[in-house]
Amino acid sequence: MRNEVLNKGVIPPCISPTSEETPGKPSVSLILVQRFLDVIGKTAAALALAMFCAATSAQTYPAKPVYIIVAFSAGGAVDLIGRVAGQKLTEALGQPFVVDYKLGANGIIGGEYVAKSAPDGYTLLVFSSGHTINPSTQRSMPYDTLSLAAVSPIARGDIVLIGNARLQANNLKELIALAKAQPGKLTYASSGIGGSVHLGGELLKLMAGIDIVHIPYKGAAPGLQDIVAGTVDMGFVGVPPAVPLVKAGKVRMIAVASLKRSSFFPDTLTVEESGFPKFEVTSGYGFVAAAATPQAAISRLNGALEKILATAEIKHSFNGMGLDPWWSTPSQLQTWLREEVEKWQKVTRAIKYQPE
Q: Which tens digits make up the pLDDT trace of 79-109?
A: 999 999 999 999 999 999 999 999 999 999 9
pLDDT at 138: 94
Number of Cβ atoms within 10 Å of the Cβ of 342: 14
Is residue 216 classed exposed, middle or buried when 0-12, 13-18 and 19+ CB atoms within 10 A define those classes? middle
Q: Are 123 and 114 in contact (CB under 8 A)?
A: yes
| pLDDT for the residue numbered 355 | 81
CB atoms within 10 A of CB 160: 27
Domain boundaries, the chain: 2-54, 66-156+283-350, 158-256
Amino acid at residue number 343: K
pLDDT, one tens digit per residue, over 255-308 is: 999 999 998 999 999 999 999 999 999 999 999 999 999 999 999 999 999 999
Residues in the chain, total: 356
Superfamily of domain 158-256: Periplasmic binding protein-like II (3.40.190.10)
Predicted TM-score (pTM) of the model is 0.81
Over 60: is that where the pLDDT of 19 sits?
A: no
| Strand bridging mode 97-101 / 187-190 | unpaired
Residues 339, 133 contacting (CB under 8 angstroms): no
Separation CA 204–CA 160 (nearest Å): 12
* Sequence-ordered strand ranges (E) for the chain: 66-70, 97-101, 123-127, 149-164, 187-190, 213-216, 234-238, 251-256, 282-289, 324-325
**C-alpha–C-alpha distance, residues 139 and 143, integer Å:** 12
pLDDT at res. 17 = 52
Find, among 109, 104, 93, 101, the residue nearest to 75 by Cα. Answer: 101
Contacts of 342 (CB under 8 A, 6+ apart): none
Does residue 33 register a pLDDT over 70?
no
Q: Is the pLDDT of residue 239 over 50?
A: yes
Paired with 18 in beta bridges are 26
> pLDDT tens, 244-265?
999 999 999 999 999 999 989 9
Q: Please, what is the average pLDDT of the chain? A: 89
β-pair type (187-190, 149-164): unpaired
- Name the 3-class secondary structure at 160: strand
252: three-class secondary structure by DSSP: strand
Residues 125, 314, 280, 76: is their CA dihedral positive or negative? negative
Please tell me if the domain spanning 66-156+283-350 has the same topology as the one spanning 158-256: yes
**Superfamily of domain covering 66-156+283-350:** Bordetella uptake gene, domain 1 (3.40.190.150)
Does residue 243 contact residue 266 with C-beta atoms inside 8 Å?
A: no
pLDDT at 2: 41
Per residue in 41-72, pLDDT (tens digit) is 555 555 554 444 444 455 699 999 999 999 99
